[in-house]
Amino acid sequence: MDYDVIIIGAGPGGIYAAYELMTRAPQLNVAVFEAGNTLDKRACPIDGKRIKTCIGCKNCSIMSGFGGAGAFSDGKYNITNDFGGNLFEYIGKDEAIRLMEYVDDINLSHGGEGARLYSTANTTLKKTCLQHKLQLLDASVRHLGTDRNLVVLTNLLAELDKQIDFHFLEPVQRLEVLDGAYRVGTKKGTYTCRTCVVSVGRSGSAWMEGVCHEVGIPTTSNRVDIGVRVELPAELFSHLTDELYESKIVYRTEKFEDRVRTFCMNPHGSVVSENTNGIVTVNGHSYENPELQTDYTNFALLVSKHFSEPFKDSNGYGESIARLSNMLGGGVIVQRFGDLIRGRRSTHERITESFVVPTLKAEPGDLSLVLPKRILDGIIEMIYALDKIAPGTANDDTLLYGVEVKFYNMHVELRPNLETSYEGLYVIGDGSGVTHSLSHASASGVFVARDIVARMGGRS
């Protein structure tokens, strides 16, 4: 065997699996294969001046490399079972929270100290929400911030690098099941191991699907979330963001009884565009550095859609809607809320006259020509509901950017210990369809590392 354990992917899932193996069973010979670059060599060419939008690099530095997809995010680490994944369905709610707290401790001891922990416990905002048919989900949020997040990752890499064999810029192309072992193939060679942990995240979804198909691991379709990103003056949401930083609020629409929820709230942030396989969608960021902050807060309003029979391709549905918006707007479309409810498109003139200055250069247009009526009606209803707890949300000048789509990986069929039907082959993190957050993905890595240590020997 070349290695005892091979980990595929160096996102939070892979990093924390490696960290736990290194500390609990230092005698094990562990390698990590990562399609992207080491941390200090990850650089997105968009500089806002010469290169303004995504140029579709072969290896996307935002999604790939040490730290995975969230490396350049502002690192909102949510400790909760209410959102961010279904890890608790496999390992139990108490264990899931314990592991998220354990990872939080490691983050703090590796450069994260000083990061504020926000919590919904004891907040009166919960009651205010309920009074207006809104549900505030329970969570503790450690807001690391972009800069601190990178410090934590840098420190973790320095520590791991002493003991773990990292193979950067070496995407795994093949994964073969041998008799009691696994062989991974890259363009540089083949490597065997006794145990393999696959943690390839969202960017590795197509590859993961291929592997499951090839070796006969059953998968099922997941949901897709479709909606818009809302941008408004930061003061309007400051009572929520000052106390909770990010609030996950759910609304059940009166018309269709659909659930609409807030997602990824960025106080004093910027709206950004995102290119996934040539499809431009919208997202949001915020920085801890006051110089990079804006006067606006942005968040997504999303509706989940899950197709099963006969049409199964939830992601394909989301992609088609995003493509339609790209066709009409050449990229992201922006519309004033006032224009949307009056049934007219936004124009450059109306946007220029607006009190809200867009933080993303997007094409003024009409989102009602893009989003299905049911989804759009739900979003409009929710904006009016939010207006009751944050008056001004439904102002005419509130900006809506579209479309925002959250794609999820298919669910890989796994045992309660996150192992496939093949002994010693684990699938964790967002690539498994089980998690979709930094905290759940990291916790899943720690969990399988402990399972492996218990099986292979070491301090479990």
User: b/e map of 288-318 (b: 16 or more CB within 10 Å)?
Assistant: beeeebbebbbbbbbbbbeeeeeeeebbebb
Give the separation between CA 384 and CA 389, rounded to whole angstroms.
9
- 457 — alpha (psi -120 to 50), left (phi > 0) or beta? left
Q: Among residues 3, 7, 14, 197, which is the contact residue for ligand FAD, using CB under 6 A?
A: 14
State residue 438 phi and psi, 5-degree precision: -60, -45
Q: Can residue 441 be called a binding residue for ligand FAD (CB under 6 A)?
A: yes
Q: Which stretch in 97-105, 120-128, 201-209, 318-326 sits in contact with ligand FAD by CB under 6 A?
A: 201-209
Q: Toward ligand FAD, which CB reaches closer, 199 or 359?
A: 199
Of the CA atoms within 13 Å of residue 381, those in its CB half-sphere come to 23
- Report, in Å, the least distance between residue 318 CB and ligand FAD: 15
Q: Can residue 157 be called a binding residue for ligand FAD (CB under 6 A)?
A: no
Record the tokens describing residue 62, joined without a space.
């935002």
Q: Can residue 377 be called a binding residue for ligand FAD (CB under 6 A)?
A: no
State residue 230 phi and psi, 5-degree precision: -100, 135
Residues 247-306 that bind ligand FAD (CB under 6 A): 283
Residues 204-223 that bind ligand FAD (CB under 6 A): 204, 207
Length of the chain: 460
List the x/- string, 303-342, binding to ligand FAD by CB under 6 A.
----------------------------------------
Give the separation between CA 365 and CA 361, rounded to whole angstroms.
13
List the x/- string, 83-102, binding to ligand FAD by CB under 6 A.
-x------------------
Q: Can residue 453 be called a binding residue for ligand FAD (CB under 6 A)?
A: no
Q: Can residue 78 be called a binding residue for ligand FAD (CB under 6 A)?
A: yes
- Report, in Å, the least distance between residue 66 CB and ligand FAD: 7
* Closest to 103 in 3D by CA, of 456, 435, 395: 435
Q: Which stretch in 44-52, 65-73, 123-131, 220-228 sits in contact with ligand FAD by CB under 6 A?
A: 65-73
User: b/e map of 14-37 (b: 16 or more CB within 10 Å)?
Assistant: bbbbbbbbbebbeebbbbbbbbbb
Residues that bind ligand FAD (CB under 6 A): 8-14, 33-36, 64-65, 68-70, 73-76, 78, 84, 171-172, 199-204, 207, 283, 429-431, 436-439, 441
